[in-house]
Amino acid sequence: MPELPEVEATCQAIRPHIMKRKLTQVIVRQPKLRWAIPKALSEIKNTKIIDIQRRAKYILLTTSKGTIIIHLGMSGRLRVLKNNIPHQKHDHVDFIFNDGALMRYTDPRRFGSILFTTADPLRYPLLAKLGPEPFSESFNAKYLFEHTQRKNIAIKQLIMDQQVVAGVGNIYANEALFLAKLSPLRSSRLLMFDECQRLVEAIQEILKEAIRQGGTTLRDFLSPDGKPGYFVQKLFVYGRENKNCLGCHALLSIIQLGQRSTVFCKSCQK
DNA sequence: ATAATAACCTGAGGGC
DNA sequence: TGCCCTCAGGTTATTA
């Protein structure tokens, strides 16, 4: 899926097309996503989109009647198209606007979700316990250091925990650890304060650069305007197992860590 | 309470 | 071509 930068890119791309527009109809062809799409969403009509925000990997569409919460899962995608474009196999939901535009949710694996709440979306159970945004002031070395002390797990798994910091997924966890010269296997409790400082900075830098580039292109991520993201050209380790480390030329290792592929340089990352 | 693992799905790609 | 296997941007539920 889309990790934070891809979700951010999605928000930026759909914003000019749907901001302040009137949503006239929501067509749900396949309600079975990660959770069933609530019926209230299909009943929405003539609702203005007031704001488009991102929280962690969630997209929040604020409307005059409540908030639509969208998560793209592993393979989800949102695009804005002209109306009347025929739907294909995995085009599960269409959001139709009064100006003829159509925002289409496509998701082959259906790990994503589309939810709706009339209450504060940040209090919604799935969002309530999320950790700080990586660019917020509360995500800093002291904060991360405290979390490394609380649990004893591999540092990679710690930074992928959405309750520790929101938005870091498998690609950017690998990349950030390379940038910080830290082994993904390091026990969190053994991190020094200055290593936490480095890691915080690495996470921020890698995400910032990825956002600047418009996200990463892998199998099926295209930003909603149809352009691919370009970050893949800048990946140091992800997907480069058994290739040469771009720092020292040693062969990059690949291991499984918490069921996720983990690529790193045994020589550069300690 | 914490940590590992199973589960939810479909499609792509490799080996034979 | 086709079958079988493994793997893929995530996160929750279940088990130990």
pLDDT string in tens for chain A (270-residue length):
589 999 999 999 999 999 999 999 999 999 999 999 999 999 999 999 999 999 999 999 999 999 999 999 999 999 999 888 999 999 999 999 999 899 999 999 999 999 999 999 999 999 999 999 999 999 999 999 999 999 999 999 999 999 999 999 999 999 999 999 999 999 999 999 999 999 999 999 999 999 988 776 655 565 666 666 666 668 999 999 999 999 998 999 999 999 999 999 999 999
Whether residue A158 contacts residue A147, with contact meaning beta carbons closer than 8 Å, is answered with yes
Tokens of A56: 């962690």
H-type alpha helices, A132-192: 141-150, 155-160, 170-179
Whether residue A266 contacts residue A186, with contact meaning beta carbons closer than 8 Å, is answered with no
Chain A residues 210-239, Cβ below 7 A from strand B:
219
Whether any strand B atom is under 7 angstroms from the Cβ of A109: the reply reads yes
Q: What is the pLDDT of residue A221?
A: 65
Q: Which nucleotides of B are covered by protein (CB under 7 A)?
A: 2-12
Find the residue closest to B6 using CA and C1' atoms: A259
Whether residue A221 contacts residue A229, with contact meaning beta carbons closer than 8 Å, is answered with yes
Q: What is the pLDDT of residue A40?
A: 95
Whether any strand B atom is under 7 angstroms from the Cβ of A34: the reply reads yes
> Residues A5, A8, A54, A57: which is the catalytic one?
A57
Find the residue closest to B10 using CA and C1' atoms: A109
Contacts of A43 (CB under 8 A, 6+ apart): none
| pTM of the predicted model as reported, rounded to 2 decimal places | 0.96
CB atoms within 10 A of CB A264: 26
Q: Which residues pair with A116 in a beta bridge?
A: A68
Q: Report the distance separating Cα A126 and Cα A143, nearest Å.
A: 22
Tokens of A146: 């405290």
Active site residue A181: no
Q: What is the pLDDT of residue A25?
A: 96
Q: What is the pLDDT of residue A82?
A: 86
Active site residue A212: no
Find the residue closest to B11 using CA and C1' atoms: A108
Residue whose entry in the numeric block shows the structure tokens 């609702």: A47
Q: Report the distance separating Cα A163 and Cα A4, nearest Å.
A: 14
Q: Report the distance separating Cα A230 and Cα A232, nearest Å.
A: 5
CA atoms within 13 A on the CB side of A236: 23
